[in-house]
Amino acid sequence: MVLDEPNEADEVFDVKGFQFIANKDFLRQAQPVTVDFSGIGFKINSSMDLGAAGCGSCGSGSCS
């Protein structure tokens, strides 16, 4: 997750005061996507297998 401004290639979601922006093409590949806040950070889950791509110590494929 990063701070960004939406553009024409993005889908914008407003959820409980938070604005989420996702690239439409990426979103089609990754659906379903869930974003949860655990109190110490965000946890993102999707149908994509990100284990091979890796993000450090996130063995499950989701990073918070």
Q: pLDDT digit string (tens) for 7-63?
A: 999 999 998 888 889 999 999 999 998 888 888 888 888 998 867 555 544 444 445
pLDDT for the residue numbered 50: 67
What's the CA gap between 25 and 37, in Å, rounded? 24
Give which of 26, 24, 25, 30 is closest to 48, Cα–Cα: 30
Instruction: Please choose, from the candidates 34, 37, 13, 35, the residue with its C-alpha nearest in 3D space to the C-alpha of residue 23.
Output: 13
